[in-house]
Amino acid sequence: MTDYASIKVGGLQTPLNPSTTNTLLRDADPALFYMLDFFSAMLRTHLGARFAAQAAKAGIPGIHSVLGMSLPLDPAPWLATNQLKFPLLAIYRTQDTDDERTRIWTRAHCDVTVNYVLPPLTAGQAEILAPILNAVSKVISQRIEQGMDPTYTPPGGIQGDSAWQLSGLDRIWLKSSKWGGYDDGEKLFFPAWTGIVQLEERSDFVPEDYEDFSGAIVNIDLKDHVTDTVLPDVVVIDTSVG
C-alpha cells in the first residue's frame, strides 16, 4: 500500500483500468456517462410514443424515434455532416471551477451543456413537432431533481436506483434553459433545447491505499518541574483494535 497513490473525484478513480470492457466515458467521466444513459431512457419512456406519432404526422423522412443517437460532445462541428443521427442528445462539459469544501476535501463545480437537437424542419413540420422541446426540458428538469425513475435500471444498479448515487455526484441541478437552435450558416436550421446543468463532485481518499489502524498505547507521565519528581503512567490510553 502507498498513501495517496490514487486520485478520486466524484465517480472517477485512478489509475484507470487498462481493460476496454467499459467505455472510456464510463471510467473517465462517470457523471456524463450516467447523465447520457438516464436522460436517453427518460426521453424514450416519457415522450417516445407521442414523438413517433408526431413525426409520422409531419412526414419527416427517416425520423421515427425520439432519440436517434447520444454523444458526450458539442455537436456543432458535425451538424451539417452525415455523421449524426437525429434527434440528437448531446451532453458535454463546458466550464469547471474548484473550491475547498474543507481543508481536506476539495469540490469541483462544473457547468455541463445538455442539447436536444431536432433535424432541419420546414415551418409546417416544426409546427407539428417542435413543441416536443418544451416537454424535453420538463422531463429532464424533473428527473434531474428526482434522480431516478421507477422504470429505469441504471448500469451497475437495480431498477429504481438513483443514477446520481452511482455516478459519484454530490449534487446536480438545472441552472437554466433556452430554446432556439443551430444554424449552419447556409440553409439549414436545427431546432433545439439547451440546458445548463451544474454538477458538484468532491475529492476523496481511496481507503485501499492506506493500512488499517491497528491501535496505539499512550502513556502520560506527570513531572514536578521543581523537584524533577516523575509520577509515571498518570494517564494510559489504549486504542488497540480487537
d(CA 30, CA 214): 34
In tens, the pLDDT along 150-183 reads 999 999 999 999 999 999 999 999 999 999 999 8
| Least confident span in 3-7, 136-140, 143-147 | 3-7
In tens, the pLDDT along 20-63 reads 999 999 999 999 999 999 999 999 999 999 999 999 999 998 99
Residue 103 pLDDT grade (very low, low, confident, very high; cuts 50, 70, 90)? low
Cα 207 to the center of its chain, rounded Å: 23
Residue corresponding to grid cell 440528437: 88
Mean pLDDT calculated for residue range 188-212: 85
Using left for φ > 0, alpha for ψ between -120 and 50, and beta otherwise, residue 59 falls in left
- Give yes or no for residue 210 having a pLDDT over 70: no
| Bridge-based pairing state of the strands 69-71 and 88-100 | parallel
Fold designation for 7-209: STM4215-like (3.30.2000)
Residue 208 pLDDT grade (very low, low, confident, very high; cuts 50, 70, 90)? low
In tens, the pLDDT along 211-232 reads 776 777 888 888 888 888 888 8
Which of 100, 89, 107 lies closest to 32, judged by CA? 89
Distances (CA, A) of 224 to 68, 176, 219: 82, 68, 17
d(CA 182, CA 117): 8
Given a contact cutoff of 8 angstroms between Cβ atoms, the answer to whether 81 and 26 are in contact is: no
Cα 80 to the center of its chain, rounded Å: 28
Given a contact cutoff of 8 angstroms between Cβ atoms, the answer to whether 1 and 211 are in contact is: yes
- Give yes or no for residue 186 having a pLDDT over 80: no
Which of 121, 115, 102 lies closest to 61, judged by CA? 121
pLDDT at position 105 = 74
In tens, the pLDDT along 44-55 reads 999 999 999 999
| Residue 20, strand partner residues | none
Given a contact cutoff of 8 angstroms between Cβ atoms, the answer to whether 85 and 68 are in contact is: yes
pLDDT at position 122 = 93
d(CA 34, CA 66): 19
pLDDT at position 1 = 62
Who wins on pLDDT, 45 or 238? 45
Average pLDDT across the chain, whole number: 91
Mean pLDDT calculated for residue range 104-133: 94
Mean pLDDT calculated for residue range 193-199: 98
| Residue 126, strand partner residues | none
Per domain, the residue ranges of the chain are 7-209, 212-242
Given a contact cutoff of 8 angstroms between Cβ atoms, the answer to whether 100 and 106 are in contact is: yes
Q: Mention every residue, 6+ apart, whose C-beta is less than 8 A from residue 77.
A: none
